[in-house]
Amino acid sequence: MTVWGNGLVQRPLVSNGGQFGAPRPGGRTHAGADFIGYNELRAIEPGRVTFAGVLTPAAGVSVAIDLPNKIDGHTVTIVRMHIKENTLKVGAGSQVVAGQLIGMMGASGNAQGACDHVEIRFFRNGQLIRTVDPVTWIGNRIGGGPQPAMLGSQQRVSKAFVNGRAAPTRQAAIRGSLAAGVTGTFNAFTHGESVEGNNVWFRGHFTGLWFWSGAFTSTSTQGLIRI
Ligand SMILES: [Zn+2]
């Protein structure tokens, strides 16, 4: 699954002048997009962290995550820059799920103000081939799936108190909950953080929140679409 850098499917704002391709000193153009208006930086796609630290003096504290699968023969790397100092939650070699907290928004490096610089890089044979507009690329990835309103739903009964989270990982913000013995209605599942050997999370039909399937009397994904 894919989310924006705020962990949601609602796109955050881009700063004035922070658009992809905007002019930069020396005739260069902006290789990413600078998103604003939130604090928690979350992984946009699942993948492996290949870098976490100060990338260059200009980039400041940065995280690079390689997607698990190639796209059109290219390795796709999502780079985040200007992260607040001393807030990194991942290190090189970490595996992350989409929506996982990676750090806090900041202005490290040469940022003009706090922003989430997102850069989508396509590599072939270790060579950077191109960067693309994150607004378009992420938007297409999120928009490509079925819309919740069109989906069938299934019900599961909770066997224990269970939190509803903004993303399918225990690191994501708690936005709701179900008490034990309550029937929840779900319309999708995904593979998120593995808890007690089970990485299936259900998506709430009405809330869009993620609930770990192990908290329900049935962990079956039958009738639920996978996203
Ligand atoms: Zn930027």
pLDDT along the chain (227 residues), means of 10: 92 94 92 97 98 98 97 95 98 96 98 96 95 94 56 77 94 90 85 96 88 92 84
**Residue 15: C-alpha distances to residues 18, 88, 107 (Å):** 5, 23, 13
Q: pLDDT value at position 138?
A: 95
CA distance 110 to 15: 15
pLDDT score for 75: 96
* Residue given tokens 């992350």 in the structure block: 96
What distance in angstroms lies between residue 2's CA and the mean position of ligand 1's atoms? 21
The span from the CA of 201 to the CA of 168, in Å, is 6
Q: How far, in Å, from the CA of 157 to the mean position of ligand 1?
A: 45
Quote the CA–CA distance of 105 and 115 in Å, as a whole number: 6
Domain ranges of the chain: 13-143, 149-226
Q: What is the pLDDT of residue 152?
A: 58
Which phi and psi (to 5°) does residue 143 adopt?
-75, -10
CATH superfamily to which 149-226 belongs: SH3 Domains (2.30.30.40)
Question: What distance in angstroms lies between residue 30's CA and the mean position of ligand 1's atoms?
Answer: 6
- C-alpha 112 to ligand 1 mean position (Å): 9
pLDDT at position 144 is: 56
Ligand 1 centroid to Cα of residue 140, in Å, is 21
For ligand 1, the distance from its centroid to the CA atom of residue 215, given in whole angstroms, is 41
As beta bridge partners, residue 10 has none
pLDDT value for 100? 96
CATH classification number, 13-143, choose in 3.40.1280.10, 1.20.1080.10, 2.70.70.10, 3.30.360.10? 2.70.70.10
